[in-house]
Copies of this chain bind each other. A is one copy, B any other.
Amino acid sequence: MADKIRISLDAMGGDSGPEVVVPGAALALERRPDIAFSLYGNEQRLRPLLDAHPRLRDASEVFHCEVAVAMDTKPSQALRQGRWKSSMWRAIEAVKSDTADVAVSAGNTGALMAMSKFCLRTMANIERPAIAAIWPTARGESIVLDVGATIGADAQQLIDFALLGGAMARVLFSIERPTVGLLNIGVEEVKGLEEVRTAGRLLREANLKSLDYAGFVEGDDLGKGTVDVVVTEGFAGNIALKTAEGTAKQIGGYLRAAMNRTWRARLGYLLARDAFDRLREKMDPRKVNGGVFLGLNGIVIKSHGGTDAEGFASAVELAYDMARNDLMHKIGQDFMHYHRGRFGTRDGLEGDQ
């Protein structure tokens, strides 16, 4: 059997901290037994929880940290107070020092991104990291990035996001050449943001082996799953993500109200209960929990702060899959090919002669 995947956990992150992180990790370990965990956090709080999960305890090393980054701490403040010593920082640092393959935190997004950037730094050739979300669609799942790491992106940054998302799609969906679309308003080549149009032209010209550029997509293509990867800058991406979440909740509310209005509706609901359960499961946000920070020298997974053990487990499993399938290596390869294709290389030119 292959080596274990080493996952570092910010055990204090999230609304409930260790009370969710520990049982969540235990659940993930049941389904992915080849994980070795490093838990960063308050040892006194962690020990009794680990004792309740002996298998996890045996697969874990605990590193005591005095400091935990609160959920409402501003990024700059988190860096000032939590650098070097907080559970969040040390979980990320484990990736940097190669004692972990990937880090997971349910701590606050801004602080986690600020620390990840500061600790891991962006990859060579990449100016800005992105947060990639997994988006449930009518035909399965897509990857959408950036959903809020930074505001605005120029054409080159959008191309970087396309390459990053493409590599993640190959890992997550096991497709050789995932389709990639640029989020825009209107699908005609003349429409929309200048940066998006330029990125589209360059992606088309580049004709990459690692991804299949499919042109512009619009907001309604997200739910349809028109492409495997949707690329956008962080402002529009974040608004799209939250709008979709809000719409799903809104319709769920309508449905509940409608099913409660008459006795016939209530009876119908009882009969169709399995169907409703399936629907609920399909829309369960816990199933696709985990934003992936891409573009840094290491992978960090952000779990929802308010999730439960099941949701945290799915973030851990996502982390596992990214590491097991060597996402960082694939990203490195894709960028190398892209830049080689753009500029040519002496070797390549000589070889052709």
Contact = CB atoms under 8 A, between A and B. Distances in A.
Interface of A: 74, 110, 137-138, 148, 151, 183, 185-186, 190, 192-193, 218-224, 232, 234-236, 238-251, 253-255, 258-259, 261-262, 264-265, 267-276, 278-279, 282-283
Task: Report the copy number of this chain in the oligomer.
Answer: 2
Contacts of A192: 151, 235
Nearest to A243: B219
Contacts of A74: 190
28 contacts: A74-B190, A148-B185, A151-B185, A185-B234, A192-B235, A193-B235, A219-B240, A219-B244, A219-B245, A221-B246, A222-B243, A222-B246, A222-B247, A223-B243, A223-B246, A232-B239, A236-B239, A247-B247, A248-B251, A254-B282, A254-B283, A258-B275, A259-B272, A261-B274, A262-B275, A264-B272, A265-B271, A265-B272
Given A185-B235, A251-B283, A246 B274 contact: no
A176 B192 CA distance: 36
A125 to B, nearest CB: 26
A224 B251 CA distance: 10
Contact of A239 (B219, B270, B275): B219
Contacts of A190: 74
Contact of A261 (B247, B259, B278): B278
Given A236-B239, A254-B283, A220 B246 contact: yes
A279 B246 CA distance: 17
Q: Which 9 A-B pairs have the closest CB atoms?
A: A219-B242, A268-B272, A220-B246, A268-B271, A223-B246, A223-B250, A219-B243, A265-B275, A258-B275
A247 B283 CA distance: 11
Given A219-B239, A236-B239, A248-B247, A268 B258 contact: no
Contact of A138 (B253, B264, B267, B283): B253
A221 B110 CA distance: 20
Given A239-B240, A246-B224, A264 B258 contact: no
A287 to B, nearest CB: 13
Main secondary structure of the interface of A (DSSP, over half): helix
Contacts of A283: 251, 254
Of the listed residues A222, A246, A265, A283, the one surrounded by the most CB atoms of chain B closer than 10 A to its CB is A246
A224 B279 CA distance: 21
Contacts of A250: 137-138, 223-224
A194 to B, nearest CB: 9
A274 B264 contact: yes
Contacts of A220: 242-243, 245-246, 249
A209 B183 CA distance: 38
A345 to B, nearest CB: 38
A155 to B, nearest CB: 15
A245 B240 CA distance: 11
Of the listed residues A264, A268, A270, A278, the one surrounded by the most CB atoms of chain B closer than 10 A to its CB is A268
Contacts of A261: 274-275, 278
Contacts of A279: 251, 254-255, 258
B219 A241 contact: yes
Nearest to A151: B193
Contact of A249 (B218, B223, B234, B268): B223
A235 B235 CA distance: 10
